[in-house]
Amino acid sequence: MAIVSPGFHGRRRADPDLPPGQYLTTDFPVLSAGPTPRVPADRWQFTVTTETGAATTWTWADLTAMPARDVTVDIHCVTKWSKLGTTWRGVPVSAFLEDVDTAADYAMAHSYGGYTTNLPLDDLLDDQAWVAYRYDGDDITPEHGGPVRLLVPHLYFWKSAKWLRGLTLMLEDSPGFWETAGYHDYGDPWREQRYQGD
Amino acid sequence: MTASVDGNALAGALREIFAVDVTAAVVRCCGCGQAGAVAQLTVWAHAPGLVARCPGCSDVVLRVVRGPDRAWLDLRGTVALEVALPAE
């Protein structure tokens, strides 16, 4: 006689594409911690500053002349929405670090408007992170971080800094805007690292 | 579209932490020195936490993050909170 577990078949199977605690959304919620910076593309600049203070700056013309990738990625916000299959165009962050002499293990992303977020440098390399300037076939709107935002989809989306203007390379880790207010230092959605201590 | 609201949006989150209604307190901004009621701050609530900015200079004055079993209050942008109390 077969053993039947009535509860098993009736239970809804979790979506394997959704990290724990997340729900699926098809729109693109706008979260913002302050006024939306309006930075014209022709005035946008991106500066990588090493731990010694050496700085290299790229303009919009420089960025858009670099070899870009079109990527399709899932994004996961710490406020529990996830959006699957989003399409972006950007330049891998590693392309900006090729000629940079650094011993840093961490980076702080800086935004126009003052936002910051910290990441291990390794998480910005090897096709894990992009300096993105197009979303869904169009320029990125200011509300979604345009003209240029960081895209680090394997971490909660607060790490994908909007209105990106620079990376500061650091020998020691240092918390950014949300990381100083209770949010997790790393923010892996698959390990549900929302808050400090998770 | 994202819009800010006034400091009364902080009432619930701050009532959990303080025994008084902090929205009536006077807060002085570290950025520009302007003082005014907490209720007059500009609050960005569509975010992972509540971000309250000075209506004068837009610097962050205070932040509240509510986790499932904890809250974080960041007051680094606040010089002082002046809270009215019953006379002794």
- Among the partner-chain residues A34, A180, A195, the one whose CB lies closest to the CB of B53 is A34
Share of chain B above pLDDT 70, in %: 98
Q: What are φ and ψ of residue B6, in 5° steps?
A: -90, 175
User: CB–CB of A183 and B63 under 8 A?
Assistant: no
pLDDT value of residue B2: 58
Sheet arrangement for strand B78-82 = B35-37, B26-29, B78-82
pLDDT value of residue A114: 96
* pLDDT, tens digit, 9 for 90 and up, residues B50-60: 999 999 999 99
Domain-by-domain residue ranges, chain A? 20-26+45-191
Mean pLDDT, range B64-83, rounded to an integer: 95
Task: For chain A, say whether B21 makes contact (Cβ under 8 Å).
Answer: no
Which one, of B11, B9, B51, B59, lies nearest residue B34 by Cα? B59
* pLDDT tens-place values along chain A, 198 residues long: 444 444 444 344 468 889 999 999 999 999 999 999 999 999 999 999 999 999 999 999 999 999 999 999 999 999 999 999 999 999 999 999 999 999 999 999 999 999 999 999 999 999 999 999 999 999 999 999 999 999 999 999 999 999 999 999 999 999 999 999 999 999 999 999 999 999
DSSP-derived secondary structure for B13-78: HHHTT-SS-GGGSEEEETTT--EEEGGGSEEE-SSSSEEEE-TTT--EEEEEEE-SS-EEEE-TTE
Mean pLDDT, range B11-40, rounded to an integer: 94
What is the rounded distance in angstroms from the CA atom of residue A131 to the CA atom of residue A58? 11
Q: Which of residues 102-121 of A touch B (CB under 8 A)?
A: 114
Task: For chain A, say whether B87 makes contact (Cβ under 8 Å).
Answer: no
Helix (H) or strand (E) holding A64: helix A60-65
From the CA of B10, how many Å to the nearest CA of chain A?
A: 14
From the CA of A6, how many Å to the nearest CA of chain B?
A: 33
Task: For chain B, say whether A25 makes contact (Cβ under 8 Å).
Answer: no
pLDDT value of residue A163: 98
What CATH number was assigned to the domain covering residues A20-26+45-191?
Answer: 3.90.420.10
Task: For chain A, say whether B3 makes contact (Cβ under 8 Å).
Answer: no
Task: For chain A, say whether B43 makes contact (Cβ under 8 Å).
Answer: no
